[in-house]
């Protein structure tokens, strides 16, 4: 987790985004200590609501860069992901996948799954980039936490894009699930060693299956008007001059540094 | 601070309560509503969606109520005044995040046009059975404010007041209206912007490096900043210290959660609004809120015609509860009659505050309709004649219930 935040900070630098424009709403499963040090605003929200909370931040102040970090994105927060992608809300979604629901390549992930499913799991996992792409997300990628350079490059690229991007990061669960951090290191090493970079691969082929290589890479990148762009276009075509485009009054801080109207 | 002219649709209207609430939200400076359609609250969202784009505000239909309330808490932290609109089932779904908003001391407004429950219940007809859920619906201890308007005009006026209270005390404010008021069409007067008082946010204006997010002012309410303005916020739904950093121990639990409760409790004299009529000579007082107050007016008149000295105490703010005033009145009168469209919610708080000094009578109504004034009158008359002190809440069976179940005050014996 903390390593991912460090990589994220490198990506901000790379993309030339100042930390104080950045808001990171996260859901419950993601709460790294290091977020205190990098100078962006962090919100530890309720289970699965990082994207919903982030949607509110973005719509109330379109000048913000909102980067939801999600740990329970595909379960309790699944609907928000699907609709956020469909609307093309301007969010850079970082989804940390620790395989709570899946054993991988014959090895059971040392995560909450062991406690909840002592006899291992058998459910099919989501193919997150494929789901995002089918819901019209404009950018999809997957890396392991050890692909630090590629990951930082992907995040930086996604931050520059207008719309919903999703970057899946394969990373072990937090230390308190595994007990010994050595297990974490071993496991993330295992993900890394068993991965295969296939940039531009069709996301429908990148599902994670037991006993096969993990496909990582930057899969898709396209352009599509954002929610706010579409909203402004639609409303001005109907209301004409009566319409005050979104972001004029609620946006880039009319009332000075702290205030607003 | 006065309302912005661009937000106030001054004029005289003939509109329903839902629409009046939508207009009230805009006048109060609300810039962002996220909601999910649900009868009978939908007209309020529609009204806001229609007028918002012309004044730079935004309505978004989210994927569900969980997303709606999460988005408005996020929106509030980004600096906007925000609200969501719902009814019964949606209200239940929102509860987790109401507590989250309270924990983060987020100012936001939740309009609940109550309908008949439980479950899907009676979507198109009225109820007042969410009153306790408003107060205790989310897990954990926290304080909040709930207002019960009784007319479309009040839905306009008290929506503005709800925003003002939310900003002042940085807590969720519930507008607990109901289908009957929401769908009632009456004259609504929207005054000029310069006559509307708006509470600005409690901005922190010092240096960003010295900002402590949860350090309270003297009235126990901390100051707020906008997300993305360089304050390195760490804002968490976990128990936290004044900096916002998570802590687990008893000391902070006592200090911090206690303040969430106390900031409402200690300021309750400033928050509570009551309307009292004919209290001075009264032997019996009708304690009511929302639509039941309007029905009670006729019930009280009828009882007065029959020679009973009866007054009215209307709870405009239901939460926080006016404990002291009820205790004081209970010492002077024989009984308090509480009509509500449920099988007993607010009546138990009335009874708690009476300390056995007066009889407390519930006039229940199952919902999907309002009381018949005769029922309230009959309850007043029978309790005025009652010689005994009865310790528990007496349930007065209404005419409809007598015909279905039998009984009444006398069946208690």
| B176 has pLDDT over 70 | yes
A111 and A93 in one domain? yes
Residues of chain A contacting B210 with CB distance shorter than 8 Å: none
Q: What pLDDT is attached to residue A172? A: 72
A231 and A113 in one domain? no
CB contact under 8 Å between A43 and B233, yes or no, is yes
Q: What pLDDT is attached to residue A91? A: 98
Question: Per residue in B356-365, pLDDT tens?
Answer: 999 999 999 9
What tokens does B65 get? 């109520």
Average pLDDT, chain B: 95
Give how far Cα B126 sits from Cα of B112, B113, B184, Å: 12, 8, 11
B278 and B176 in one domain? no
Higher-confidence residue of A261 and B287: namely B287
Nearest by CB to residue A243, choosing from B32, B54, B97, is B54
Half-sphere exposure of B322 (CA within 13 A, CB side): 23
Distance between CA A30 and CA B357 in Å, rounded?
54
What tokens does B118 get? 């439980």
Q: What pLDDT is attached to residue A171? A: 83
* B14 in any annotated domain: yes
Q: What pLDDT is attached to residue A115? A: 44
Half-sphere exposure of B347 (CA within 13 A, CB side): 27
Q: Give the gap in angstroms from C-alpha B286 to the nearest C-alpha of chain A.
A: 42
Is residue B46 packed enough to be buried (19+ CB in 10 Å), middle (13-18) or exposed (0-12)? middle
Spatial CA neighbour of A185 closest among A197, A172, A174: A172
Q: Which of residues 2-41 of B touch A (CB under 8 A)?
A: 4, 6, 29, 31-32, 34
Average pLDDT, chain A: 83
* B137 in any annotated domain: yes
Q: What pLDDT is attached to residue B407? A: 65
A37 and A141 in one domain? yes
Higher-confidence residue of B228 and A122: namely B228
Q: Which of residues 64-93 of A touch B (CB under 8 A)?
A: 64-65, 79-80, 82-83
- The answer, for A229 touching chain B at a CB cutoff of 8 Å, is no
Best interface-test mutation with B: which of A232, A258, A259 has the largest number of B CBs within 10 A? A258
Spatial CA neighbour of A97 closest among A116, A68, A121, A125: A125
Nearest by CB to residue B75, choosing from A20, A57, A248, is A57
B135 and B25 in one domain? yes
B187 and B95 in one domain? yes
- The answer, for B63 touching chain A at a CB cutoff of 8 Å, is yes
Residue A190 domain boundaries:
2-224
Percent of chain A at pLDDT exceeding 70: 80
A247 and A176 in one domain? no
Residues of chain A contacting B236 with CB distance shorter than 8 Å: 31, 43-44
Pick the last residue of a domain from B162, B195, B228. Answer: B195
Nearest by CB to residue B32, choosing from A48, A59, A239, is A59
User: Looking at A7-21, A94-108, B284-298, which range is the least confident one?
Assistant: A94-108
A250 and A162 in one domain? no
Encode B366-378 in three state secondary structure. Answer: CCCCCCCHHHHHH
Helix (H, G, I), strand (E, B) or coil at A240: helix
Nearest by CB to residue A258, choosing from B34, B57, B205, is B205
Nearest by CB to residue A56, choosing from B29, B74, B234, is B74
A150 and A242 in one domain? no
* B202 in any annotated domain: no
Q: Under 8 Å CB-to-CB from B198, ≥6 apart: which residues?
A: B1, B2, B3, B4, B28, B29, B160, B163, B164
- Please name the helix (run of DSSP H) or strand (run of DSSP E) that holds residue B115, with its range, or none: strand B108-116
Best interface-test mutation with B: which of A36, A51, A61 has the largest number of B CBs within 10 A? A61
Q: Give the gap in angstroms from C-alpha B65 to the nearest C-alpha of chain A.
A: 10
Nearest by CB to residue B227, choosing from A31, A57, A82, is A57
Instruction: Assign residue A135 the CATH number of its domain.
Output: 3.40.50.970
B150 and B61 in one domain? yes
User: Mean per-residue pLDDT for B46-58?
Assistant: 96
B301 and B165 in one domain? no
Helix (H, G, I), strand (E, B) or coil at A2: helix
CB contact under 8 Å between B74 and A43, yes or no, is yes
A169 and A231 in one domain? no
Q: Which of residues 120-139 of A touch B (CB under 8 A)?
A: none
What tokens does A137 get? 């997300």
* B47 in any annotated domain: yes
Instruction: Assign residue B105 the CATH number of its domain.
Output: 3.40.50.970
* B205 in any annotated domain: no
| A200 has pLDDT over 90 | yes
Q: Give the gap in angstroms from C-alpha A200 to the nearest C-alpha of chain B.
A: 31
Q: What pLDDT is attached to residue B321? A: 98
* B210 in any annotated domain: no
Instruction: Assign residue B349 the CATH number of its domain.
Output: 3.40.50.920
Q: Under 8 Å CB-to-CB from B101, ≥6 apart: which residues?
A: B69, B73, B76, B108, B172
Give the count of domains, chain A: 2
Give the count of domains, chain B: 2
* B262 in any annotated domain: no
Pick the last residue of a domain from B173, B195, B217. Answer: B195
- The answer, for A257 touching chain B at a CB cutoff of 8 Å, is yes
Percent of chain A at pLDDT exceeding 90: 58
CB contact under 8 Å between A258 and B226, yes or no, is yes
Q: Which of residues 184-243 of B touch A (CB under 8 A)?
A: 200-201, 203-205, 225-238
CB contact under 8 Å between B235 and A42, yes or no, is yes
A147 and A206 in one domain? yes
Residue B309 domain boundaries:
274-412
Q: What pLDDT is attached to residue A255? A: 40
Higher-confidence residue of A248 and B412: namely A248
Percent of chain B at pLDDT exceeding 70: 98
**Which of A66-75, A155-164, A243-252 has the highest average model confidence (pLDDT)?**
A155-164
* B396 in any annotated domain: yes
Spatial CA neighbour of B290 closest among B404, B205, B182: B182
| B350 has pLDDT over 50 | yes
| B130 has pLDDT over 70 | yes
B157 and B25 in one domain? yes
Pick the last residue of a domain from B176, B195, B214. Answer: B195
Contact at 8 Å (CB) between A21 and A64?
Answer: yes
A210 and A237 in one domain? no
| B377 Cα distance to chain centroid | 26
B291 and B169 in one domain? no
Question: Per residue in A130-172, pLDDT tens?
Answer: 999 999 999 999 999 999 999 999 999 999 999 999 999 988 7
């Amino acid at each position: 987790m903390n390593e991912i935040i460090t990589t994220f900070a490198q990506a901000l630098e790379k993309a030339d985004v100042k930390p104080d424009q950045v808001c990171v709403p996260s859901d419950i499963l993601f709460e790294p200590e290091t977020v205190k040090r990098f100078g962006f605003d962090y919100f530890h929200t309720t289970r699965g609501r990082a994207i919903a909370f982030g949607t509110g931040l973005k719509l109330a102040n379109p000048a913000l860069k909102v980067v939801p970090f999600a740990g329970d994105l595909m379960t309790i927060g699944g609907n928000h992901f699907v609709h956020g992608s469909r609307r093309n809300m301007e969010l850079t979604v970082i989804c940390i996948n620790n395989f709570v629901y899946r054993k991988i390549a014959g090895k059971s992930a040392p995560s909450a799954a062991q406690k909840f499913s002592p006899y291992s799991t058998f459910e099919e996992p989501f193919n997150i980039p494929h789901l995002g792409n089918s819901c019209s997300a404009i950018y999809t990628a997957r890396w392991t936490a050890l692909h630090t350079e590629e990951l930082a490059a992907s995040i930086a690229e996604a931050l520059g894009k207008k719309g919903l991007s999703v970057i899946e990061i394969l990373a072990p669960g937090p230390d308190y699930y595994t007990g010994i951090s050595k297990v974490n290191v071993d496991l993330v090493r295992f993900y890394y060693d068993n991965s295969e970079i296939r940039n531009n691969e069709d996301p429908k082929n990148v599902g994670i299956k037991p006993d096969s290589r993990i496909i990582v890479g930057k899969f898709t990148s396209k352009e599509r008007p954002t929610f706010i762009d579409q909203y402004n276009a639609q409303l001005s075509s109907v209301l004409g001059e009566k319409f005050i485009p979104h972001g004029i009054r609620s946006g880039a801080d009319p009332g000075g540094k702290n205030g607003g109207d | 601070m006065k309302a912005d002219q661009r937000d106030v649709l001054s004029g005289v209207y003939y509109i329903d309560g839902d629409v009046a609430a939508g207009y009230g939200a805009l006048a109060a400076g609300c810039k962002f509503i996220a909601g999910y359609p649900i009868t009978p609250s939908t007209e309020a969202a529609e009204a806001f969606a229609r007028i918002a784009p012309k004044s730079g505000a935004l309505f978004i239909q989210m994927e569900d109520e969980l997303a709606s309330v999460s988005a408005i808490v996020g929106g509030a932290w980004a600096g906007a005044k925000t609200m969501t609109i719902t009814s019964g089932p949606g209200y239940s779904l929102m509860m987790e995040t109401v507590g989250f908003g309270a924990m983060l001391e987020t100012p936001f407004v939740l309009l609940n046009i109550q309908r008949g429950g439980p479950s899907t219940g009676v979507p198109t007809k009225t109820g007042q059975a969410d009153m306790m859920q408003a107060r205790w619906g989310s897990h954990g201890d926290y304080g909040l404010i709930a207002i019960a308007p009784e007319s479309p005009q009040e839905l306009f006026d008290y929506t503005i007041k709800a925003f003002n209270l939310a900003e002042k005390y940085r807590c969720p404010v519930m507008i607990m209206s109901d289908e009957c008021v929401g769908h009632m069409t009456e004259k609504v007067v929207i005054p000029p912007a310069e006559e509307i008082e708006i509470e600005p946010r409690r901005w922190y204006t010092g240096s960003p490096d010295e900002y402590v997010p949860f350090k309270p002012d003297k009235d126990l309410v901390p100051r707020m900043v906008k997300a993305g303005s360089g304050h390195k916020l760490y804002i968490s739904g976990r128990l936290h210290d004044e900096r916002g950093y998570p802590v687990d121990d008893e000391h902070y639990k006592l200090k911090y959660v206690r303040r969430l409760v106390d900031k409402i409790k200690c300021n309750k004299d400033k928050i509570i609004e009551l309307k009292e009529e004919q209290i001075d000579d009264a032997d019996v007082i009708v304690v009511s809120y929302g639509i039941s107050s309007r029905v009670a007016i006729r019930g009280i008149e009828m009882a007065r015609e029959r020679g009973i000295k009866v007054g009215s105490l209307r709870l405009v703010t239901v939460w926080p509860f006016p404990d002291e005033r009820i205790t004081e009145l209970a010492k002077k009168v024989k009984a308090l009659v509480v009509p509500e469209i449920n099988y007993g919610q607010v009546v138990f708080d009335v009874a708690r505050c009476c300390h056995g000094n007066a009889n407390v009578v519930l006039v229940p109504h199952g919902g999907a309709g309002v009381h018949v004034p005769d029922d309230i009158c009959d309850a007043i008359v029978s309790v005025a004649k009652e010689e005994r002190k009865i310790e528990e809440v007496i349930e007065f069976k209404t005419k409809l219930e007598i015909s279905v179940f039998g009984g009444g005050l006398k069946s208690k014996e």
